[in-house]
Amino acid sequence: MTNTTLQPIQNIAPVDQKKKSSDPAQAQYDEGKEFLEKNELAQAALAFHNALLAFEEKGDENGIANASNQLGHVCLQRAEYEKALAHYQRAWDICDKNDDPMSLMALSKQLVLVHQGLKQYQEAVKLCFDLLDSYNRNNNPKGAVETLELMVDVHIEAGDKATAADAYRTIASIHASYKHNNIAERFLKKAQALEEAV
């Protein structure tokens, strides 16, 4: 027979109750992420700013990069593109110094959106080509397709529908090479619709 001793009711806590970090900087950072998830941007910005100051005081480069990245996200959502660029650039510099290619790729995607918001379309496209090069080297068709879709948005916003249509055809070609014929056909139709709108 097994022992079926019940746990006292006062020991049972809600499942979603998270333990706060004992590190004040990390606690502020975690709080900022919660606010950002709830789209409470002002509170998120304040929490990330406080976390950034605390990480700077400790000399924690990873913390500085993470807080800067999150502040970039907040500014991007608020369409404060210049501020977002400054925060992302700070994170970029740290990640580049620490030779962190995965973080640099994630930052590149955000920087495409920042440059698009600043109407710096050539810079956005240049970043997309850098991402495409990396995805091709690593044989990552999913990343390549996502980047091409970003490029389509940039080209359309820049008024270059013909180049956007070319990007759609490239996406269709990638899908066709994996026998995703229905998806490929959908992108070919998008390319055709863009060309007809030119």
pLDDT tens digit sequence for 1-56: 556 666 666 666 555 555 677 899 999 999 999 999 999 999 999 999 999 999 99
Let me know the angle formed at the C-alpha of 36 by 156 and 88, rounded to the nearest 5 degrees.
Answer: 55
- Residue reference for tokens 């014929």: 181
pLDDT tens digit sequence for 147-156: 999 999 999 9
Pick the CATH number of 119-198 from 1.10.10, 1.20.120, 2.30.29, 1.25.40: 1.25.40
Question: How far apart are the C-alpha atoms of 74 and 189, rounded to whole Å?
Answer: 35
For 23-100, CATH number? 1.25.40.10
Question: How far apart are the C-alpha atoms of 27 and 37, rounded to whole Å?
Answer: 15
Enumerate the CATH 1.25.40.10 domain ranges in the chain, comma separated.
23-100
Question: How far apart are the C-alpha atoms of 72 and 94, rounded to whole Å?
Answer: 14
In the structure, what pLDDT confidence band is assigned to residue 193 with cuts at 50, 70 and 90? Answer: very high
Question: How far apart are the C-alpha atoms of 76 and 112, rounded to whole Å?
Answer: 11
- pLDDT score of 9: 63
